[in-house]
Amino acid sequence: MNVGDLPRPSAHVASSHRFSLKTLFVTSGTPFPPIAGSSQRSALLIEGLRRLGPVDLFLYGDAAMKRYLEDNGYPVAAACQPQREKRSLLLRCLTALLGKRALAVWRFLLGTRVDYEADPGLRERLAQVVASGGYDLVVGRYLVASARAGVFTLRNVPVVIDVDDADSKVLKARIASPATRPWAARLLALRVRAVEAWQQRLWPRAAMVWLSNPQDADLAPQRSLAVIPNIPFQLPAEAQLAPSADGARVVLWVGSFDHRVNLDGVDLFIDSVWPQVVQRDPGLVFRIVGSHLPEAKKQQWMRVPQVEVVGFAASLDEHYAECAFSVVPLFDGAGTKIKVLESLGHLRTCVVSTHAIKGYEALLHDEQSLLVADSMDALVEPIVRLANAPQLRHRLERHGREVVERQCGREAMFSGIAKALQALPGGRAP
């Protein structure tokens, strides 16, 4: 799909709700192009907010990015870069010594305050924009980006934080992941308590916190919370879809590799699981579709028997049409895995880890919409089974598509946004 073919945001439409909001959306990532799951959620949140009033962006970026987004339908009130990194003598010295690794080392040395304390340059610019913009609401995308921008220092305007992936659970999942080396797990464990302390300190300063995974509500049960679920960005019409071919031999992965969780998960799957699958069923092919795959990793994977690396694909439709089913072999990350719903929406069932359906337990069940494995090695059996059971695949496909179509549409998400804002504590929604 070319960038020119991607959907642009709809203009503000008249709201059927009893209030209207002018919103400033604070983000360190862009909602366009909506290719990766994070950009798709941003685009959907903005579209939902636009049904309630105009939405401007406060963006970590430069003038070129500002023009790019405005050319694609996103008004940008300001685009600026964090200043703390530019002003750090230590970081400059580390960069001279370590190159690209310097930033990670600098962040480790300075601790969690680098992530969660307001950056002076961003905070000052944000305050100026809010003071002059007449905003009724500020929505921050992710806790770290919101904190660094200084949203928690704002006064006289309600702030909503879209946590999406709870930071402490991201760390805990990474520690438990089979892809994490023991020494890295020990270092990460040192950060968990500090991150939990920042969450407990910052979340109460927001008027409301939005989560994508209902299980994350246990982190702050006494606070004003709402679950705004992740949904497939585009759901193909059922008339355009056909069941998987009885003789289909492609097992599909779809996911962007600028997300570390995806890269680590697929790498471990290819190393430890796929050889066992091929030994059991030599005719299967593992097809990998996803942008931002490092060239060295691509060359490594292409040398593995029965692995086909596509990289970025202009359209996912043909790959879903050709596959027997998809696989989501992830044991890391937090929030929810939208790629599971995307596959079911394309009428293809999945073999997934128990971790990959966290947050979807009320919707998706083993042997009903997909097959679930509780460890990396346990993925082998359901993959081989499903590859050789077309009638089982077709039953799971039908049920999975019905669930996604019935419960994971845009209107449900947008209605959830409106209801959440109507419930802002203190009656602060106009």
Confidence of residue 14 (pLDDT cuts 50, 70, 90): very low
Q: Are 133 and 77 in contact (CB under 8 A)?
A: yes
Q: What is the residue range of 390's domain? A: 238-407
146/192 same-domain check: yes
127/270 same-domain check: no
More confident residue, 78 or 109: 78
199/64 same-domain check: yes
358/423 same-domain check: no
Q: Looking at the 3D structure of the chain, how many domains does it have? A: 2
17/133 same-domain check: yes
299/354 same-domain check: yes
**Residue 16 clears pLDDT 80, i.e. is over it:** no
**Residue 268 clears pLDDT 80, i.e. is over it:** yes
Asked if residue 346 belongs to a domain, the reply is yes
The predicted pLDDT at position 107 comes to 78
Stretch 347-358: mean pLDDT:
94
**Residue 13 clears pLDDT 60, i.e. is over it:** no
**Residue 210 clears pLDDT 80, i.e. is over it:** yes
Question: Could you tell me the pTM of the whole model?
Answer: 0.85
Asked if residue 208 belongs to a domain, the reply is yes
Asked if residue 107 belongs to a domain, the reply is no
164/194 same-domain check: yes
The predicted pLDDT at position 12 comes to 53
Q: How far is the C-alpha of 76 from the C-alpha of 144, rounded, in Å?
A: 20
Percent of the chain with pLDDT over 70: 93
Counting other chains too, the contacts that 293-299 makes at CB distance below 8 Å and 24 or more residues apart are 293/257, 293/263, 294/257, 294/263, 297/257, 297/263, 297/267
The predicted pLDDT at position 345 comes to 94
159/67 same-domain check: yes
CATH number for position 328: 3.40.50.2000
Asked if residue 105 belongs to a domain, the reply is no
Confidence of residue 147 (pLDDT cuts 50, 70, 90): very high
Asked if residue 194 belongs to a domain, the reply is yes
329/309 same-domain check: yes
222/250 same-domain check: no
Asked if residue 94 belongs to a domain, the reply is no
Confidence of residue 76 (pLDDT cuts 50, 70, 90): very high
Q: How far is Cα of residue 138 from the mean position of the Cα atoms in its chain? A: 20
Average pLDDT, the chain: 89
| Collapsed DSSP state (helix, strand, coil) of residue 353 | strand
227/268 same-domain check: no
305/187 same-domain check: no
The predicted pLDDT at position 101 comes to 83
Asked if residue 101 belongs to a domain, the reply is no
Q: What is the dihedral of CA 361, 367, 370, 373, to 10 degrees?
A: 80
Closest to 360 in 3D by CA, of 402, 318, 403: 403
Stretch 250-263: mean pLDDT:
91
414's tokens: 């947008």
Asked if residue 310 belongs to a domain, the reply is yes
